[in-house]
Amino acid sequence: MSIIIKTPEEIEGMRLACRLGAEVLDYVTPFVQVGVTTAELNRLCHDYMLNVQGTLPAPLNYAPAGHTPYPASICASINHQICHGIPNERPMKNGDIVNLDITVIKDGFHGDTSRMFLLGEPSIQAKRLVAVTFECMWLGIRAARPGGRLGDIGATIQKHAEKNGYSVVREFCGHGIGRSFHEAPQVLHYGKADTGEELKPGMIFTIEPMINAGKAAISTLSDGWTVVTRDRSLSAQWEHTVLITESGAEALTLSAGSQPPPKGI
Ligand code: MF3
Ligand code: CO
Ligand code: CO
């Protein structure tokens, strides 16, 4: 499948969906506390999307080939869980690091974004992993520009992760997004600069590196969804949906509560 170049109208639709996705994270942030369950966060986000925003939670019943329908409205992945963690009734603990991944649908357009949250006082190693993964995402965004290639994004992310002693998850990647949740291209978070498809203004895709403190290998739990590090090392992820503009790349999933890009990147 070829990469869709979005029209100005489609870009406006995506701007709105993406801002709303980010605003779900702003809304839920004060509730992300030790003792709270991810099932409760799921309920809060679900109700906010439907009743306040008038958006739909794209994950709910999402069923790509080979998967059972996803049973919740958000993904919540804690500690060694890499992605697609299913919210549950276990209270979050002091020192946990949790990724909340939100995708809303507004007027048929998808906005996809995730952030990391630190519960209480995580270890220095955990905080460093979260910070380096945030830098990886932003280095990837800064590497994306018209006339450049998809491989530029993966190469810069991989270099930064590995320089810090971490590994990049290979099995999951960023993706084109628009009227579909997942469309072309696949945006690998590793690879070689100056390879892959040329980037053009009007392309919209996510950059969502999953970075492991230990080895890159993954396992999938028997729930059919939750992806964990095989060596049970910590994993972190951040995600923005980005638009290729005439001069670079613009993160669309920004809101009042977004953490600003790291300095010097
Ligand atoms: N939001 C995820 C992504 O970034 C996809 C989640 S699919 C689900 O692509 F079914 F697990 F929700
Ligand atoms: Co995504
Ligand atoms: Co996502």
Q: Flag whether pLDDT at 112 surpasses 80.
A: yes
Peptide bond into 185 cis (omega under 30): yes
The mean pLDDT of 105-109, rounded to a whole number, is 99
Atom of ligand 1 at shortest distance to CA of 59? 12
Q: How far is the CA of 231 from the centre of ligand 3 (A)?
A: 23
Q: DSSP assignment of 127-159, as one string?
A: HHHHHHHHHHHHHHHHH--TTSBHHHHHHHHHH
Question: Candidates 70, 84, 86, 220: which one to mutate for ligand 1, based on the most atoms within 8 Å of Cβ?
Answer: 84
At residue 250, what is the residue type?
E
Q: Which stretches of 51-185 are DSSP H helices? A: 124-143, 150-163
pLDDT tens digits, 176-222: 999 999 999 999 999 999 999 999 999 999 999 999 999 999 999 99
The reported pLDDT for the residue numbered 168 is: 99
pLDDT tens digits, 117-146: 999 999 999 999 999 999 999 999 999 999
CA distances from 62 to 115, 167, 180, 239 (A): 21, 28, 11, 19
Atom 2 (ligand 1) nearest CA: 101
The reported pLDDT for the residue numbered 265 is: 83
Q: How far is the CA of 264 from the centre of ligand 1 (A)?
A: 30
CA distances from 135 to 30, 128, 174, 259 (A): 24, 11, 16, 11
User: What integer best gives the mean pLDDT of the chain?
Assistant: 98
Q: Flag whether pLDDT at 152 surpasses 90.
A: yes
Q: Flag whether pLDDT at 1 surpasses 80.
A: no
The reported pLDDT for the residue numbered 184 is: 98
Atom of ligand 1 at shortest distance to CA of 101? 1
Report the interhelical angle of 124-143 vs 150-163 (nearest 10°): 160
pLDDT tens digits, 213-263: 999 999 999 999 999 999 999 999 999 999 999 999 999 999 999 999 999
Question: Residues 25, 100: contact at Cβ < 8 Å?
Answer: yes
The reported pLDDT for the residue numbered 263 is: 93
d(C-alpha 73, C-alpha 57), whole Å: 5
The mean pLDDT of 105-113, rounded to a whole number, is 99
Q: How far is the CA of 206 from the centre of ligand 2 (A)?
A: 6
